[in-house]
Amino acid sequence: MEVKNCKGCKKLFNYIGGVQLCPVCREALEDKFQAVKKYIYENPKASLVEISEDNDVSNTQLRQWIREERLMFTEDSVIGIECENCGTRINTGRFCRRCKETLANTLNSAYQKPAVRDEQKKSQNSASRMRFLEGWNNSN
Ligand SMILES: [Zn+2]
Ligand SMILES: [Zn+2]
């Protein structure tokens, strides 16, 4: 088990992966998330700044929730973040619909090829290393 400093309260805690928060802060954050979700539901026209100020949540945290697709906004909402690929305004997630499709296509078509190429490179490397070792042994 790994011991880390909690990003929230700076106390040491047993880190089990995921968010670097102690169980107390993790729970507090979850409470906050639920509060924010409720707030957005009740104030659909609120801006990110308003949400952040009224709920005492950092803008960074809000954006992270949006990236994780935990917070969703309606199409006509004033809230938006940028697609990580092309910068288009999106309501949730990391990429706009168009980039998502393009990325999915690229991933599918190139899925196995790079791995195969890497394998070949690796075996070539070890082959040349073998030759080098043989030469070294002979000269010794
Ligand atoms: Zn903590
Ligand atoms: Zn995009």
Q: Give 34-88 pLDDT, tens digit per residue.
A: 999 999 989 988 889 999 999 999 999 999 999 999 988 877 777 888 999 999 9
Query: What's the gap in Å between 32 CA and the centre of ligand 1?
Result: 14
Q: Which residue is it, tokens 């082959």? A: 127
- Nearest by Cα to 75 from 91, 62, 63, 88: 91
Percent of the chain with pLDDT over 70: 78
Query: What's the gap in Å between 105 CA and the centre of ligand 1?
Result: 41
* Secondary structure in 3-state letters for 9-59: CCCEEEECCCCCCCHHHHHHHHHHHHHHHHHHHHCCCCCHHHHHHHHCCCH
Query: What's the gap in Å between 46 CA and the centre of ligand 2?
Result: 24
Query: What's the gap in Å between 16 CA and the centre of ligand 2?
Result: 34
Query: What's the gap in Å between 108 CA and the centre of ligand 2?
Result: 18
Q: How confident is the model at residue 121 (pLDDT cuts 50, 70, 90)?
A: low
Query: What's the gap in Å between 129 CA and the centre of ligand 2?
Result: 44
- The predicted-structure confidence for 25-34, as pLDDT tens digits, reads as follows 999 999 999 9
